[in-house]
Structure 1
């Protein structure tokens, strides 16, 4: 007999759960639950919610092509950084000439 299978005559020990676990209190009617019920009742809102969930759980292009995104983001950061440095030098040159 395998260790993961017990014979039919062996029983598990009874589990003694507290009362609050056996009979939990009903859920409270919070504003969030009321809004959730409203969205569930309205057909358009419910469809929009499900579309939002599908969009949120999609596989993003950056997840499927991480190397391409890394190279593109590096090039973008380098271009923006270079433009910022040259812009600062340009403003400094204008200030030194007195045109600023």
Structure 2
């Protein structure tokens, strides 16, 4: 086995034919829609705006302690209102006015 000249490229691994020369991508509805978005400037900008928006961090990730305190107070207030409402309804049921 002789070594090839240095100017010729020789693959390190013998890949199957389907990996060396793959078929072109199929024309699926998703790819057609993506190409339409890429061709239309307004849609392309909208897509990029959505990508930028998704990169932002949430308020709860930037301020975890404040979010935890506000969430606790909100849940406590809602639970208090629900329990008070249930006590009121049970009281009305015991009186027979409900």
1:61 correspondence with 2:25: no
Aligned residue number for residue 78 of structure 1 = 76
Q: Hey, what's the Cα distance between the residues in 2 that align with 1:42 and 1:91?
A: 59
Partner residue in 2 for 1:8: none
Structure 2: gaps (5+ residues)? 1-10
Give the equivalent residue in structure 1 for 2:6: none
Q: Which residue of 2 aligns with 1:90?
A: 88
Residue 39 of structure 2, aligned match among 41, 44, 52: 41
Query: Structure 1 segments of 4 or more deviating over 4 A?
Result: none
Q: Which residue of 2 aligns with 1:14?
A: 12
How many residues were matched structurally? Answer: 88
Offset, 1:14? 2.0
- Corresponding position: 1:25 with 2:27: no
Question: Aligned with 2:24: secondary structure?
Answer: coil
* Cα deviations by residue, 1:56-82 (Å, 9 ceiling, x for unpaired): 111222111111111111111111111
TM-superposition CA deviations, 1:35-63 (whole Å, max 9, x none) = 11111111111111111111111122211
- Shift of residue 99, structure 1, vs aligned partner: 2.0
